[in-house]
Structure 1
Amino acid sequence: MPIPAESTPITEAFQFTNDWFGVVKGVWEELVPQIQPQRMLEIGSYEGASACYLIDKLSHQFPIELHCLDTWEGGLEHQQDGGISMTQVEARFHHNTALSIRRSAHPVNLVVHKGPSDLGMARLLAQGASGHFDFIYIDGSHQAPDVLADAVLAFRLLRKGGVIAFDDYLWAEELAGGKDPLRCPKPAIDAFVNCYFRKLQILRAPLYQLYVQKTSD
């Protein structure tokens, strides 16, 4: 079930331990003002960098609705790294988004869904959210079957004219036996785009992320 964003004691400083989002921030600086999304969904929130960006960028213009869906258990690549505490990652997400909301000029309806992305999106569809979102950011599991499921469900939740952003399009996990095509997003994203090519338009952007606009249901 969706849970409201936590009321967390906050300081005046964000708590980010990496700059992964900084790689694509320049693209979003051009893309987001063109879309002007008011209803957004992100799959995979981690410490909240992308969520805070959307809140900071848009809430000074109008009220926004932002759904964040994450297990906060980490993917396979995180589970193999014993140095990452996902409990602390989740706490930083709540701290950072609370700080952005505190600074917002208009109301921010932040809804946090803790759990697997396929179940969370299926619940949203069951609750009548088909075609509800203007912008969906997919940055959850990097396993190809999971990415494909996220893409298909996201398409159902996206309104006509809305945009899906796929993160880590060219990312691949370095394994002892070489790269595994089922443990990277690209094959799943390509399969989705190929199956839905008559209902999508690919937007020009650097290939680290892939952006598609829904042109029909």
Structure 2
Amino acid sequence: MSNNLEERSSSNGAKYLAQQKYSEAIAFYKQGIETDPTFMSNYWHLCLALLLQEQESEAMATWLSILEKADIEKVNTWTLDLVKVLIAEAIRCEAVSDFKSARKMYGYAAIARSQAWKKVKGYEFITDWFSQNLPIWEQYLIHLANKPEINILEIGSWEGMSACWLLDNILTHESSRITCIDTFEGSIEHKLEYNDSYIKSVEEKFDFNISQTKVPEKVTKIVGSSQDMMRSLPLTNYDMLYIDGSHLASDALTDAVLGWGLVKVGGLIVFDDYDYTFPDDLEQDTKIGIDAFLQAFCKKVNIIHQGHQVIVEKTSC
């Protein structure tokens, strides 16, 4: 495709997007890909059109199909190109005060970077409950990045995705460390959703993924119940506590209370799955346990984010 044809194609597609004719834009970019599959801009704008049409799964499938064919150099280049398209849309949304859509686009950009990151590093994750949190983590954890002697405690590691991201993006100073506690036997919700053979493979997957970080010496893996293992950990030692173990309200509350003394003043406590529910046992919804902690410690914490995750700063002992 010549430069003139490429420019004309981009212009025509942009008109559909500007007019919010997303179905037409999707068809247009798909036709462009069939005509010239090497013109990569069509893929990025197809992803955008699909997202605007709220076809998130198809957009992700399109992006992942491209990643599967790409070598490492192309992964980085193509990710940057896609992210530019998504960020441009986020900025456009902000300009018209559509801040909800802007946040979604920034989130999609973070997820695109996450998928590329996993490909480049050679990680093997079967499940991904983490990528959706990246926009929040990038915002609130950046002050810890590459600082010396940062210590993080993680309750519930599963296949190690969050631990690997922390090692690659936050705990980059040679003196920083992470402690990961997990039974590697799954919680109630895991046992309902996954078969025994997969659950039995989780610890092995964790070990493999940590090895792919190339800094496994920074990781202390503790196998066992958090409510037993935390009792022997040093007080006021951690700059961040990430609670993502059992989602039962009673367990989330117990993890938070036991972890409280382990976190430094000024440190962060991050709760995952604030909105998790147990349809057959509503009294154990995760929110109930987290809210109980927040109420009891309200004068000692500052809530800095509350959504799917809750992030608080410990302001006093």
Q: Which residue of 2 aligns with 1:5?
A: none
Q: Which residue of 1 aligns with 2:310?
A: 210
| Equivalent residues in 2 for 1:70-109, closer than 5 Å | 70-83=182-195, 85-100=198-213, 102=214, 104=215, 108-109=217-218
1:157 deviates by 0.3
| Equivalent residues in 2 for 1:150-189, closer than 5 Å | 150-175=255-280, 180-182=282-284, 184-189=285-290
Matched, 1:55 2:155: no
**Contact 1:66 1:108 survives alignment (8 Å):** no
Higher mean C-alpha displacement, 35-44 vs 57-66: 57-66
Q: In the alignment, residue 202 of structure 2 is paired with which amino acid?
A: V
The aligned length equals 194
1:185 deviates by 1.2
Q: Which of 130, 141, 146 is equivalent to 2:235?
A: 130
Give the match's secondary structure for 2:164: helix
Segments ≥4 residues shifted beyond 6 Å: none
Give the match's secondary structure for 2:218: strand
1:57 deviates by 0.5
Q: Which residue of 2 aligns with 1:41?
A: 153
1:82 deviates by 4.7
Deviations 1:154-174 (A, max 9, x none): 111000000000000011133
Higher mean C-alpha displacement, 144-153 vs 52-61: 52-61
Deviations 1:173-200 (A, max 9, x none): 333xxx5221x21101000010011110
**Contact 1:55 1:108 survives alignment (8 Å):** no
Distance 2:265 2:271 in 1: 17
**Contact 2:305 2:312 survives alignment (8 Å):** no
1:108 deviates by 4.5
Q: Which residue of 1 aligns with 2:301?
A: 200
Q: Which structure shows the higher helix fraction? A: 2
Distance 1:58 1:116 in 2: 26
Q: In the alignment, residue 283 of structure 2 is paired with which amino acid?
A: P
Distance 2:299 2:144 in 1: 21
Give the match's secondary structure for 1:66: strand
Q: In the alignment, residue 29 of structure 1 is paired with which amino acid?
A: E
**Contact 1:59 1:108 survives alignment (8 Å):** no
Deviations 1:43-63 (A, max 9, x none): 000000100000001343442
Q: Which has the larger radius of gyration?
A: 2
**Contact 1:45 1:51 survives alignment (8 Å):** yes
Deviations 1:80-121 (A, max 9, x none): 235252221111111001111x1x5xx852111100011110
**Contact 2:171 2:177 survives alignment (8 Å):** no
Q: Which structure shows the higher strand fraction? A: 1
Distance 2:203 2:217 in 1: 19
Percent identity, aligned pairs only, is 35
Higher mean C-alpha displacement, 22-31 vs 40-49: 22-31
Aligned CA distance change for structure 1 residues 64 and 116 (closer, same or farther; 3 Å): same
How large is the Cα RMSD of the aligned pairs? 1.9
Distance 1:191 1:67 in 2: 26
* TM-score, normalization by structure 1: 0.84
Distance 1:204 1:115 in 2: 29
Matched, 1:121 2:222: no
